[in-house]
Amino acid sequence: MMRHSRMLAAIAAMALPVVPAAAQTVDYSALEAVMGEPVTTSVTGRPQRGSEVPASTVIITAEQIARSPAHDVPGLLKGYAGIDVNRWTAGQSDVAVRGGVQSYNARLLVLVDGRQVYLDHYGMTDWNLLGVPIEDIQQIELVRGPASALFGFNAASGVVNIITKKPGDAPAATLVAALGDHDRARVAGSVMVPLAAGIGIKLSAQHLREDERRVPDALLTPGRLPDVTASQVASELFVHVGRTTATVGGGYATNGQMEYLPSQILSNQFYRSGNVHASVARDTAWGGLTVSGFVNWLDATYGKDALRDRPNAALEIDNRIVSLKAAGLYRFGDNNVIRLGSEYRNNRIVGDAQFADTISYDVASVDAMLDLHFGDRVALTTAARFDRLWLGASGPVAQPAFNDPASFDRAFSRVSLNAALLVQVGANGRVRLNGGRGYQLPSLTTFGVRIPLVTATPLPFPVFVAGSPLLDPVGTWSGELGYAHDLGSTRLEATGFYTRTSDAIASPGDGLQDLLEFHLVPAPVAVARFQVAGDYQTYGVELSASGRHAALTWRTNYTWTHTDEQVGSLAAPIALAFSPRATTPQHKANVALGYDAGGRWYLAALARYTSPTRQFAFTAMQQLALFRVEDAIGIDARIGYRFTTRLAGYVAAENLTLASGVAGSPIPADRRLRAGLRLSI
């Protein structure tokens, strides 16, 4: 069987696709097959080998995804150095890079095929609303550190770019069905069909439900604990004509789950999102041109079942993003590239719980990247981006108004930078010195939200939580020094990093006395604002080793992260739910093992250690407090069996050790088992 499998692999490697790889501009699977390692465009915009990118990067391939015990993208990312994954609830996860753990993390930009899926209304990522079944992912690329010079605002701590599979030369279909404990049920499928020479279509869909985790009585909970539900359908059409590739697609997704809001209040949300997107890429003798655009819609319902006596009380936020981008790559000299790009974006939210009916901004950007190679041993990459933002509010203003409407008539500019120097040392070593300046943009909600607060004890005047149009982008400086060395099939990496984040923004918490501003006309009203919480710095070391020996693959890493912070008091009552030092684990370590000889059985396991943290949550008495999250060793595992070349089954488990602190949440982690079948045609 092993010999048979290797032969099939060799046949697959030599099969030439009907759609030429050259016509697809960047065909990730074909480029990976020919270069012997994954290829990415997420660091500089130009295709680069994973081992040669001028940044600290993780690339998770389709093969690794298929064998992983993880059930979602955060689960796949958590086993790598420098990554914190907080599974606040069964459905809500946040991924933080190099510290700064916070719910609704607004510092990580998440893309699917270069299209933003990060939700701009609140500056967060709903990983259950990506609209991509995990089986449909070609590779996941994570760039650690600011990447705003390429991607703009919100790539302040890193970027995750999820590359999906594209139709090949033959029809293909995948169907996955899985059941698990906690009433988990999932079905997903995708179909890829070549319609004619150079034309292909892809359809995908999935549905998921599972129970929420048990919430301790000590925590403030919504009136009802909902199940996690997520559904999505998507379609894309690909057309290749000569040197031009065009893609048109769209999708619709829904997700309902309980979440920790930025204030660390548990709340039930329901999201509906849709998108349409299109791109045209032209490959030329000197490089290439790409024009793309997308429209994302989001209808978010916040606070469902927040009050037992008012089950239908909820806030509605409608968000729409329009983005148009153009970029050109020009090759010159032996291996040098310049990239020029521009983007226009309009982003708006409409709702009742905000300063005016519509809060919006427009952003116009230009960016440039220069990648120079001096012989075979030295490469210098520099990139800069200029963003100009115009903020605005329109429609009826909610009364009483807490801001002069003119304060929303505001514009500002920011320049983001990235630079990297790569030096080849000997035959197998590579030194990397890189850094950057990136920005996290205050979300539209942070600018303009206006929510009446229900207080534990009645007050003689109403209290509102409100955004502020005067908030500035949160700036991040980052620098790192890394060394990578290949020893045969073993790769060793070491990176030291330093990150400074200034004027971080936080949501009002509990002890609002010092934060309240009072408006006396026409009637007394108190307002607690989203506001600057302070500065913090993280520095640390990431050590990684990985290799493959025959049928055994292994990967291990250790991360030490130290956080200094200049924020408000954490003594009760806590005014702002913000303390990167308390919430970020100082030590993390992972060991991942996989065994796959190409026969019927394969095995994969991940063991992860995280040191203790403290995480914010509201007590049942409606007081914001820090809850200790114990250190934890979590073990995830998956065992698979291939019945035939088309049908395979698996059993997977997450948190076999039932370590409560594995989730990094005030809500203790539970153990989750699942089993499924996968049919590939």
Partner 1 sequence: MSVTAPSAAELNVPVATRVISFLQLPPSGPIQTAIIYAPGNADSVAEAASIERAIGAGKGRIRVKRIAVGALGTLAGTQVAFVTGGLRGEQDEIAQAATRNHVVTITSDQSCVASARCVVAIATSPRVQITVNRAAARAVDAKFGSAFLMLVKEI
Q: Note the residue count of the chain.
A: 681
> Residue 46 interacts with partner 1 (CB under 8 A)?
yes
Closer to partner 1 at the Cβ: 276 or 552? 552
> Residue 598 interacts with partner 1 (CB under 8 A)?
no
Site for partner 1 in 140-159 (CB under 8 A): none
3-state SS assignment for residue 133: coil
> Residue 49 interacts with partner 1 (CB under 8 A)?
yes
> Residue 283 interacts with partner 1 (CB under 8 A)?
yes
Site string for partner 1, 207-246 (x = CB under 8 A): -----------------------------------xx---
* Token pair of 651 as six digits: 């059993």
> Residue 163 interacts with partner 1 (CB under 8 A)?
no
Total residues contacting partner 1 by CB under 8 A comes to 48
Closer to partner 1 at the Cβ: 28 or 122? 28
Please spell the DSSP secondary structure of 135-197, one letter per residue: GGEEEEEEEES--HHHH-TT-SSEEEEEEEP---SS-EEEEEEEEETTTEEEEEEEEEEEEET
C-alpha 162/C-alpha 138 separation (Å) is 8
C-alpha 101/C-alpha 396 separation (Å) is 37
> Residue 378 interacts with partner 1 (CB under 8 A)?
no
> Residue 488 interacts with partner 1 (CB under 8 A)?
yes
| Strand 158-164 relative to strand 108-112, pairing | parallel
> Residue 485 interacts with partner 1 (CB under 8 A)?
no
* Distance in Å, CB of 604 to partner 1, minimum: 25
3-state SS assignment for residue 605: strand
Closer to partner 1 at the Cβ: 146 or 198? 198
Amino acid at 276: V
Q: Which of 82, 91, 198, 288 binds partner 1 (CB under 8 A)?
A: 288
Residue 267 C-beta-side C-alpha neighbours within 13 Å = 19
Q: Which of 35, 219, 380, 397 binds partner 1 (CB under 8 A)?
A: 35
Site for partner 1 in 301-360 (CB under 8 A): 329, 331, 334-335, 337
Query: Which of 449, 555, 445, 441 lies closest to 503 in space, CA to CA?
Result: 441
> Residue 26 interacts with partner 1 (CB under 8 A)?
yes
> Residue 492 interacts with partner 1 (CB under 8 A)?
no
Q: Which of 38, 43, 48, 95 binds partner 1 (CB under 8 A)?
A: 48
* Interface stretch with partner 1, choices 8-16, 80-88, 94-102, 302-310 (CB under 8 A): 8-16
Residue 553 C-beta-side C-alpha neighbours within 13 Å = 15
Closer to partner 1 at the Cβ: 424 or 611? 424
Cβ–Cβ contacts within 10 Å for residue 171, how many?
A: 13
C-alpha 114/C-alpha 97 separation (Å) is 19
Mapping DSSP onto H, E and C, the string for 475-518 reads: EEEEEEEEEEEEECCEEEEEEEEEEEEEEEEECECCCCCCCCEE
Q: Which of 38, 39, 529, 567 binds partner 1 (CB under 8 A)?
A: 39
Q: Which of 173, 218, 366, 428 binds partner 1 (CB under 8 A)?
A: 428
* Distance in Å, CB of 625 to partner 1, minimum: 52
C-alpha 266/C-alpha 17 separation (Å) is 50
Site string for partner 1, 544-563 (x = CB under 8 A): --------------------
Q: Which of 1, 22, 241, 456 binds partner 1 (CB under 8 A)?
A: 22
Q: Answer yes or no: are the C-beta atoms of 319 and 347 closer than 8 Å.
A: yes
Phi/psi for 640 (5° steps) reads -125, 155
Cβ–Cβ contacts within 10 Å for residue 560, how many?
A: 17
Q: Is the peptide bond before 585 cis (omega within 30 degrees of 0)?
A: no
> Residue 532 interacts with partner 1 (CB under 8 A)?
no
Closer to partner 1 at the Cβ: 489 or 569? 489
> Residue 427 interacts with partner 1 (CB under 8 A)?
yes
299: Cβ–Cβ under 8 A, 6 or more apart, which residues?
271, 272, 273, 316, 317, 318
> Residue 375 interacts with partner 1 (CB under 8 A)?
no
Residues lying near partner 1 in the complex (CB under 8 A): 3, 6-7, 10-11, 13-17, 20-23, 25-27, 30-31, 33-37, 39, 46-49, 51, 242-243, 283-288, 329, 331, 334-335, 337, 376, 427-428, 486, 488
